[in-house]
């Protein structure tokens, strides 16, 4: 079922505020009976020059994380094979930093080519803001999908980061599509945005038209500016946001990512039945996820199958 006409802000806001069960019943019309699994490897950690207020990897804050350079390609291959064994069919190489320097970029390209040789796995990468030559080179290397979030609405972005702009992120998304790669582009909820700004995110994503929309829920990190943002969004409003995102983006796969444990198991299952069709399995960049076997059991429990 595809929405042929994009809904207005007023229409989406009206949906957001309707009875929750009725809202979820509407969004459920757009979901499939399968759930996609993907996985990541944190290929370079920390020492990022950007001041994103949610992030443990920013060099602007004194967070207690381990920083390390690019890991060996052999470790990437091993992680990709483990992901496949846990029923993931997509695997992403993720690096910290605004954009890779020339030496690291060449190493990432080699990693992508190695991942493409792993049977049953589609390659993905999340390596920051791209220029035209980098986007062109990634496509030439055979990268299937590139991940780059807008993170929040354009109107709220200056409250989250000031070392680059929302438009910088949008430009990268456009380059990814220009060179024929699939686009994974999502958000982080609970960073102090208003309901109206959540609606704006849904509409902005509808204009971008990503293939996948990863949904992160803020897990406040000590020593970051958002360390006390524990109560900026509750479970009901997470579900409302997910439903509206799905209605506004019916052809994109909404994907549970970091912070989903802020939802009870009951509400995670409810979301997977009504609006979410993908899960990033395993651990995340600087926070802990679930064991893959737990997600496999959950998918079975709700009567769906894993798209693999």
Q: Give me the domains of the chain, ranges plus CATH numbers.
A: 9-307 (3.20.20.70)
> Do residues 76 and 124 lie in contact, with contact meaning Cβ atoms separated by under 8 Å?
no
How many residues in the chain? 308
Q: What percent of the chain has pLDDT over 70?
A: 96
Mean per-residue pLDDT for 3-25? 92
pLDDT in tens, 43-55: 888 778 889 999 9
| Whether 28 contacts 273, CB under 8 Å | yes
**What are the C-alpha distances in Å from 83 to residues 34, 153, 292, 294, 299?**
18, 32, 9, 14, 17
Which positions ≥6 away from 164 have C-beta within 8 Å?
50, 98, 129
The torsion angle over the Cα atoms of residues 49, 289, 218 and 135, rounded to 10 degrees, is: 40
Neighbouring C-alpha atoms within 13 Å toward the C-beta of 274:
22
Secondary structure string (H, E, C) spanning the chain: CCCCCCCCHHHHHHHHCCCHHHHHHHHHHHCCCEEEEEEEEEEEECCECCCCCCCCCECCCCCCCCCECCCCHHHHHHHHHHHHHCCCCEEEEEECCCCCCHHHHHHHHHHHHHHCCCCCCEEEEECCCCCHHHHHHHHHCCCCEEECCCECCCCCHHHCCCCCCHHHHHHHHHHHHHCCCEEECCEEECCCCCHHHHHHHHHHHHHHCCCEEEEEECCCCCCCCCCCCCCCCCHHHHHHHHHHHHHHCCCCEEEECCCHHHCCHHHHHHHHHHCCCEEECECCCCCCCECHHHHHHHHHHCCCEEEC
pLDDT in tens, 111-131: 999 999 999 999 999 999 999
- Return the bridge partners of 125, or none: 93, 146
Average pLDDT, whole number, for the chain? Answer: 93
**pLDDT for position 289:** 62
Tell me which long-range contacts 218-221 makes (C-beta under 8 A, separation of at least 24). 218/54, 218/188, 218/189, 218/190, 218/191, 218/259, 219/258, 219/259, 219/262, 219/287, 220/54, 221/54, 221/55, 221/56, 221/63, 221/286
Residue 244 to residue 202: CA distance in whole angstroms: 7
231-260: per-residue pLDDT in tens? 999 999 999 999 999 999 999 999 999 999
If one compares 12 and 67, the residue with the highest pLDDT of the two is 12
pTM above 0.85, yes or no: yes
Instruction: Look at residue 101 in the predicted model and tell me its pLDDT.
Output: 81
Give the model's confidence band at 223: pLDDT under 50 very low, under 70 low, under 90 confident, else very high.
very high
Task: Supply the pLDDT for residue 4.
Answer: 53
Note the pLDDT of residue 286: 46
Grade residue 67 by pLDDT with cuts at 50, 70 and 90: confident
How many Cβ atoms sit within 10 Å of the Cβ of residue 240? 23
Q: What is the pLDDT of residues 148-180, one digit of tens each?
A: 999 999 999 999 999 999 999 999 999 999 999
């Amino acid at each position: 079922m595809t929405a042929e006409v994009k809904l207005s802000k007023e229409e989406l806001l009206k949906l957001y505020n309707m009875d929750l069960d009725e809202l979820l019943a509407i969004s459920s019309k757009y979901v499939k009976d399968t759930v996609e699994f993907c996985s990541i490897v944190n290929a370079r950690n920390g020492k990022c020059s950007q001041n994103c207020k949610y992030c443990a990897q920013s060099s602007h804050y004194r967070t207690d994380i381990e920083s390390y350079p690019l890991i060996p390609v052999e470790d990437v291959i091993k992680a990709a094979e483990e992901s496949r064994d846990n029923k993931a069919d997509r695997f992403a190489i993720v690096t910290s930093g605004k954009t890779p320097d020339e030496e690291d970029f060449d190493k990432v390209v080699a990693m992508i080519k190695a991942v493409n040789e792993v049977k049953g796995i589609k390659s993905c990468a999340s390596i920051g803001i791209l220029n035209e030559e980098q986007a062109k080179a990634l496509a030439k290397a055979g990268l299937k999908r590139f991940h780059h979030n807008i993170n929040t609405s354009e109107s709220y972005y200056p409250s989250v980061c000031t070392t680059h702009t929302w438009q910088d992120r949008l430009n990268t998304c456009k380059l990814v599509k220009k060179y024929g790669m699939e686009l994974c582009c999502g958000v982080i909820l609970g960073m102090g945005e208003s309901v109206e700004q959540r609606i704006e995110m849904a509409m902005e994503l509808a204009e971008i038209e990503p293939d996948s929309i990863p949904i992160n829920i803020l897990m406040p990190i000590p020593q970051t500016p958002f360390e006390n943002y524990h109560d900026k969004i509750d479970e009901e409003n997470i579900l409302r946001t997910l439903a509206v995102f799905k209605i506004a983006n019916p052809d994109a796969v909404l994907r549970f990512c970091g912070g989903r444990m802020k939802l009870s198991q009951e509400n995670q299952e409810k979301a997977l039945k009504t609006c979410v069709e993908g899960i990033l399995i395993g651990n995340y960049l600087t926070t802990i996820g679930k064991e893959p076997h737990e997600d496999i059991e959950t998918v079975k429990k709700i009567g769906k199958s894993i798209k693999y």
